[in-house]
Structure 1
Amino acid sequence: MNKFVILIGIFFSAALAANDKLLIENITIVSSHLSAPNTNMNVLLNNGRIEQITSQKITDYDAKIDGVDKFLAPGLMDSHVHVSSVPGMGFGVEPLAVKHPQIVAAYYEQQPKSFLYYGVTQVLDPNPGLNSKHFTNAANHPDYFRCEVITSKDTFPYVEKTDSLSQSMYRYLVDEAAAANKPDSAESLVQQIASSGASCIKLYFEDGYGDANQWQLLSSATLKRIKVEADKHNLLIVAHANAFDMQQLALAAGVDVIAHGMWNWGQFRRHRDVPAEIAATLDVIIDEQVGYMPTQRVIAGLGEVMLPTTASSPQFLAVTPAPLLDWYQTPQAQWFKEELRIGFDGMADNAIAEIFLYGRIGKGNKVIQYLNHANHPILLASDFPGSPSYANQPGLTTFQEMKAMANAGLSPAQVLAAATINNAKQFKMDADYGTVQVGKKANLLVLERNPLASVEAWDSIETVILNGKPIARQVLVAGNEKSLN
């Protein structure tokens, strides 16, 4: 029996029970498994999954969305976000965040909605910190997956944290000399991570920012022990590495995914094209089918924090709660901007911005283009917020990362794949996510424009469907008082 029809802009998500059937009628399906959009289709959702896709009329449903002139796409997956981090304040346990608990609380309440506002229905957090529960306890939040970090007291990022509360984020500290049966050995830590339900392990290949090399790295023997044990437990290894030499070390350690673009080219930094030595390393990534997360927004966020209009754009305002916006106008919130200024010896703010937005991003684009030319699948991963910059905000950063992919030369179809099926396949989730197909989870987006025509269409979301439940985009806007319960 038909209970009600969901009209454009009017949604009764609270009235839908978990086992109610939702029909999306006469819609065009856009999905990477299709050679072309599938028009005038009827899609039935039941118990949080896609039950039926047909061109025939469906009469048994409880609620209906009119899909005429609309497009249905899979929900997006951002495979590199940090939900414990507060843009401009760092992780929620760090001193600035501790000083402003009410601002942090307002931000944590809005954050899941902001991801959903931009169609992100799955996230992977490669460093959960201590505050991920605020995210998973929200009434509506993207499906949450995580890696756990293995580091040591002598290696990054632990060595960069100076206060005990920040250091407490790192629970899996390896003793490189410990025998395999010891609780802090490489083998035991991997076993603990596997038992925790994590999807992957994150390792840091970082000996210093830029050209610096003051930090130790895990030994090759320890990396081998981690890799052997991770393979036993079917855990992927994600490598933080953004420099030419660090990505070489990561590949030598047999990692499955490299997180970050190769922005730091070392001795080749003045080259305009991809040097042969770097090309050879990229060929290894291609040949060994290593996943690649360009995370261009990390660099963009460093540049945009120097621009006075960043925190006032309509897109920024839509996903950022008012208390945090107000704080961004205070002198205290300019601390990171001041640090950047010191590092550039009195250069003008716009000149500093250009160094990041055109120089280092340019190197990342060349790497993306090289990999894309070889048809190597790129992964949508924003590394939100990517740095202490407040320029990157949840959800919006994901959309901006998609635009950065398009700017680097990916077609709209390739951006769609990067945001959906590529991530699902890489992290072995494609049985549930990544395409609009029968049996998969009903994490879907109803769009007003065709995302195969332009990447800008991803900002035309009308409805987010999360585990079969429709949520109007307008109720996700920061400061909106409508309840999602």
Structure 2
Amino acid sequence: MNHYHHAACTNPRLCCPQHAMLAFGARMAIGETQPAPEGPQPSFREGPDPNLSSFAAGDDRNTRDLFEVAEKERPVVVTGGTVLPMTSAETLPGHDVLIRDGRIEGVQATGGALPDGALSINASGRFVIPGLTNIHQHPPLRHIVGVYANMLGEGVSGEEVTLPYDLMMFQYLAAGITRIQVMAGSPEDLANRENVRSGRYRGPHMRVGSPVIDSPEAIWASAITWYVNDADGGRRAARAIFEQGYDFAKPYTMLGRDGYFGLVEECRALGIEIMGHIPQSVRPEEAFEAGQTGVAHCFEYFLHGRGADRFDPDTIAKRVKLSVNNGVTLQTTLEIARVYEYDCGFIPASEMRFEDTLDPVIRWLMREDSPFLQGWRANPVLMAGGENVLDYSTRICQALYAEGVRLLPGTDMSASSITGEMSSHHEIRSMVERIGMSPFEALRAATVQSAEYQGEGRVAGTIERGKRADLVILDANPLEAIGNTTAIDTVVMGDAILRRGARERGLARLKARYDAMPVPA
């Protein structure tokens, strides 16, 4: 593997586990990457292939029959449930939600007049919440899966381990996830976003970040990387974000100081949000003061430090204060911090339960005898980086929470959002069990605050008149036990209803597709 041209993980302590996994795969799948040019590096270079895969031209043939769709102007009523509107901690037992053309027309006590000819959903004995958010996602589209397909076996192609996109998007909705944020975009992701928006197939509302913006000595392969070599390159990257329709900028770990500050300066001039890593060349306090208001991981606050400087209480307190003063939003990613400790052997496999996830690629890669984990544990720098990372990450989140900094749940895992210990539901659970939030606060973070962060507070995130009808109907009360977010009966996505039986059929199809993938047992 020494001949792989990109310096993927030349400084591997700086990778989060999910990205390190895929960078490892990139070294195995040389044919899926573009080599860096010889000689002096250009100021700015785009890495992702602009040509779309055949998956991006797919339709909803695998999921079309699963959704019951209300005809235009036909009302939908969710009757008799306990509604958790998320406008306050108040619950509304015995209430109906009236919907027309994908919008909530009203919430009223059960027993009131209902519109004629309505499509009915019986929620008696159940609990109705707004759809949930995973604010840090990497949908495993063809261009990402292809990066590491070859490590699964000789001749394994990306096509064989990529789900049809309608089925891939279905798994989010089946998990009650009606909003995601894609944290490493590409033309393929933009096409996927447009396919969902245009109704080619159904999926969550999504924002798509730029490709990771890194130095020529990048961690990631070219499938999702833009390469910036100086301040002008940073400014050009910002203009490319604006022109190509990405929703925000994602700076990355190896980006140099000049490139970083050029990017930030131009993003601020163009009104582009910055949500990503804090490069090793820049201290967190510098990033906050320069205008980076989004942090992709809790461990960005301390990961670049070593020894006594790694988690110096005075330094951490200063960074927390600057986060408050500069309006920072943090994506929690506590579960990926836990994965990091598992990768280092500090947490036993029995506590991770990777066997429960549907995705066979994740199951295979995360076995203790896999080449990925064996390579990880042979690297002393990676092992040092994992020491106390979950404890420190938890303490960062607790300190930010105590000061009122906005914390949003994100997993940074491209595996299924439905099953396994790294799902969106487990991240929300961690906000309660590790950070100390109440179930109501954690749910607000996953609904109201996520919608507000994405600029949709007026149209989404709560159950009230005028909002989008993105709803999840649960068999048990999540305010009593946050783990009840997994007790999903029905999901409503605008004018489309995914009932329990159809959801179960879809999950069976998903499992069959996963099981047919040529992944070693």
The interval holding the TM-score normalised by the smaller chain is: 0.7 to 0.9
| 1:5 alignment counterpart | none
The answer as to whether partners of 1:244 and 1:262 remain within 8 angstroms in 2 is no
Alpha-carbon distance, 1:405 to partner: 1.2
Match of 1:258 in 2: 295
Give me the whole-angstrom Cα distance separating, in 2, the residues matched to 1:310 and 1:108.
Answer: 31
Partner of 2:409: 380
Distance change in 2, residues 1:100/1:188 (3 Å): closer
* Per-residue Cα deviation, 1:303-348 (whole angstroms, up to 9, x for no partner): 446655578668524xx3xx647866999x9221111221259x9x
Q: Which residue of 2 aligns with 1:169?
A: 224
Tell me the alpha carbon deviations over residues 341-400 of structure 1, each in whole angstroms, 9 at most, x when there is no partner: 21259x9xxxx8x995x8211101111111111232211122224xxxxxx543442112
Equivalent residue, structure 2, for 1:216: 256
In the alignment of these two chains, the number of paired residues is: 427
Matches within 5 A, 1:203-282: 203-204=251-252, 206-207=253-254, 216-219=256-259, 221-231=261-271, 235-241=272-278, 246-262=283-299, 264=302, 275-282=313-320
- Bigger proportion of residues as helix: 2
SS in 2 for 1:94: helix
Q: CA deviation at 1:20?
A: 2.8
Is 1:160 matched up with 2:219? yes
Q: Provide the secondary structure at the position in 2 that maps to 1:146.
A: strand
SS of residue matched to 1:249: helix
Query: Matched residues in 1 for 2:128 and 2:291: separation?
Result: 38
> Which range moves more in the overlay, 269-278 or 246-255?
269-278
Query: Which residue, 165, 177, 183 being the options, matches 1:120?
Result: 177
1:406 is the counterpart of 2:460: no
Aligned partner of residue 479 in structure 1, secondary structure:
helix
**TM superposition shift of 1:419:** 0.6
Paired with 1:476 and 1:217, the residues of 2 have a C-alpha distance of 47
Give SS of 1:106's match. Answer: coil
Distance 1:280 1:130, change over 3 A: same
Q: Deviations over 1:391-448 (max 9, x none)?
A: x543442112112211221110111011111111112111222111111111110011
CA separation in 1, counterparts of 2:261 and 2:282? 18
Are the counterparts in 2 of residues 19 and 48 from structure 1 also a CA contact under 8 Å? Answer: no
Match of residue 98 from structure 2: 44
**2:208 corresponds to 1:146:** yes
Aligned to 2:78: 24
Tell me the residue number matched to 1:6. none
TM-score relative to the length of structure 2: 0.72
**Does the residue aligned with 2:399 lie in a helix, a strand or coil?**
helix
Q: State the distance in 2 between where 1:169 and 1:420 align.
A: 28
Task: Tell me if 1:196 matches 2:244.
Answer: yes
Tell me, in whole angstroms, the C-alpha distance in 2 between the residues paired with 1:243 and 1:175.
15
Letter in 2 for 1:402: I
Identify the match of residue 299 of structure 1 among 337, 349, 359.
337
Secondary structure of 2:339's aligned partner? helix
Structure 2 residue aligned with 1:94: 147
1:63 matched residue in structure 2: 119
Identity of aligned residues (%): 18
> C-alpha separation between the residues in 2 aligned to 1:284 and 1:360?
22
Structure 2 distance, partners of 1:246, 1:454, is: 39
Give the TM-score normalised by structure 1.
0.77
Distance 2:388 2:141 in 1: 27
| SS state at 1:226 partner | helix
**Unaligned residue ranges in structure 1 (runs of 5+):** 1-10, 179-184, 208-214, 386-391
**Amino acid in the other structure paired with 2:241:** I
Cα distance in 1 between the residues matched to 2:131 and 2:139? 18
Q: Does structure 1 retain, via aligned residues, the 8 Å contact 2:354–2:366?
A: no
Cα distance change of structure 1 residues 468 and 122 upon mapping to structure 2, 3 Å threshold: same
Indicate conservation of the 8 Å contact 1:247/1:258, yes or no: no
Relative distance call for 1:312 and 1:383 in structure 2 (3 A) is closer
Is 1:474–2:501 an aligned residue pair? Answer: no
For 2:116 and 2:165, locate their aligned partners in 1 and report how far apart those are by CA, in whole Å: 39
Deviation at 1:176, TM superposition (A): 3.2
- Secondary structure, aligned partner of 2:372: helix
Task: Judge conservation of contact 1:295–1:381 (CA < 8 Å) in 2.
Answer: yes
Shift of residue 14, structure 1, vs aligned partner: 3.3
C-alpha change, 1:418 and 1:330, in structure 2 (3 Å) is closer
Alignment correspondent of 2:378 = 342
Quick check: 366-375 or 124-133, which moved more? 124-133
RMSD: 3.6
Secondary structure at 2:270 match in 1: helix
- What are structure 2's unaligned runs of at least 5 residues? 1-64, 514-521
Secondary structure, aligned partner of 1:73? strand
CA contact (8 A) 2:75 2:115 kept: no
* Partners of 2:249 and 2:275 within 8 A in 1: yes
Higher mean displacement: 474-483 or 457-466:
474-483
Distance in 2 (alpha carbons) for counterparts of 1:294 and 1:442: 26
Counterpart of 1:420?
A: 447
Instruction: Report SS of the residue matched to 2:398.
Output: helix
Tell me what 1:53 maps to.
107
Identify which range, 123-132 or 215-224, moves more after superposition.
215-224
Shift of residue 48, structure 1, vs aligned partner: 1.3
